[in-house]
Amino acid sequence: MDKIYFNGMSFYGYHGVFGAEAELGQRFYVDLELLVDLSQAGASDDLQHTVNYADIFTCVQKIVEGERFNLVEKLTAVIAEQLLTTFPLQEAKVKVTKPNPPINGHYESVAIEMTRRREDFAS
């Protein structure tokens, strides 16, 4: 299976349990590893045979910037589900990084990574 990667997408969102997080918001970074069959696109050189990168970006942007979640875990799960139910992907690995959670200490960031498969959402 082939993969498409999105690295370091940056969005401003209002996710978090504490009031200041919901009021002030902060930057979130999203990385994707998407499993998809790209054999037809590789042979045809036709955008119709792959997923449009701009559409993937817009899908993630609408979720991160448009909805509000208490937990980064929920945000990550919603992104994975939306990608798998909207695009012809077999698997989506989604990593959401929150650089400044309200933790008293020294660290670079915290991140949640989830891998979901298309069949996880089959009806």
- For residue 107, pLDDT over 90 is answered with no
Average pLDDT over residues 87-100: 95
Angle at 100 between CA 21 and CA 29, to 5 degrees: 95
> Tens of pLDDT along 25-70?
999 999 999 999 999 999 999 999 999 999 999 999 999 999 899 9
* pLDDT attached to residue 79: 98
* pLDDT attached to residue 20: 82
Indicate whether this model's pTM tops 0.85.
yes
Domain 2-121 sits in CATH at 3.30.1130.10
Task: Using alpha carbons, select from 54, 77, 61 the residue that is nearest to residue 28.
Answer: 61
Average pLDDT over residues 100-114: 85
Per-residue pLDDT band at 123 (split at 50, 70, 90): low
Angle at 6 between CA 70 and CA 96, to 5 degrees: 20
- Amino acid, res. 35: L
Rounded CA-CA distance 101/103 in Å is: 6
**Tokens 């979640």, residue located:** 69
**H or E segment to which residue 80 belongs:** helix 72-86
**Would you say 60 and 9 are in contact if contact means Cβ atoms under 8 Å apart?**
yes
* pLDDT attached to residue 38: 95
Which residues have a catalytic role annotated? 98
